[in-house]
Structure 1
Amino acid sequence: MPIYNKLVRDFIPQIIEGKGKKCIVEELSEQELLQKMKQKFIEEAYEVNEAKNREEMKEELADLLELIHTALEVYNISLKELEESRLAKAEKSGRFSKGIYLVEVLDE
C-alpha cells in the first residue's frame, strides 16, 4: 500500500473509501497545517512546472489557488488585503507580463 505523508484536499479520504479502500489520516494542528501547506506549495509548484497543456495548467493553478485561500484563512488575511499587496508590488516593481529575464547584474 502506498505511503503518501502529504496534505490532501478535505474529501480525499471519502473518495478513497468510496473506492472500497481504507486510508489512515491525521488531523493537523494549526502549526502543523502551516508547515505542511508550505510543503504543499512546493509540490504544487513542481506540478505547475510539469503541466503540458492548458487543461493541466488550469488544474494545477486551481490547486495553488486553493492553497492560497487556505493560507489566507489560517493567517487571517483577507482577499482584499492580498490584492492590495499584489497591486502595491506591481506598482513598485512591475508585474511579470513582459517576460523580462534577468541574466546578470554587473558591478561598474
Structure 2
Amino acid sequence: RFGFSSDLRRMSAIVKRATGASPDSIVLTKGAPETMESLIRPDCLPPSYKATYLHHMSRGHRVLALGYRRLEASPTSSLLTMKREDVEADLQFLGFAVLDCPLKKDSAM
C-alpha cells in the first residue's frame, strides 16, 4: 500500500486476488484529477476528462479520479519491492468520485 501523500496528491493499494485460475493482483489508485491525468494511459482518458472534473469543482464539489491496472502474477515478495512510480503507471480510468462536503452551520468562515 502506498499511503496518501499530500505532495503527490494520491494513494494506491495493491489487492491480490486469492481465487480464480490465476491469482493476479490489481492496483487501485485514487487522487487529484490533475495528478491522475498523467498516470492514466492516454487511450483510456475520455475526451471530456478535464471538462468533467472542472465542471464539478466549479460547483464546490471535491473530485477524485480513480484508476486501476492489473499486475502480472508474481510472488508477493516482488510486489513488496516494486517502486511506487512503477506501480502507479499505465492506469486505466475508472471514473470520478464526486463528493459534496457542505460547511456545517457552526463552521468558522
- What TM-score range do you get, normalising by the shorter chain? under 0.3
Q: Which has the higher strand share?
A: 2
> Which of the pair is proportionally richer in helix?
1
Q: Higher relative CO (CA 8 A, sep ≥ 6), structure 1 or 2?
A: 2
| Normalised TM-score (structure 2) | 0.20
Greater C-alpha Rg: 1
TM-score (norm 1): 0.20
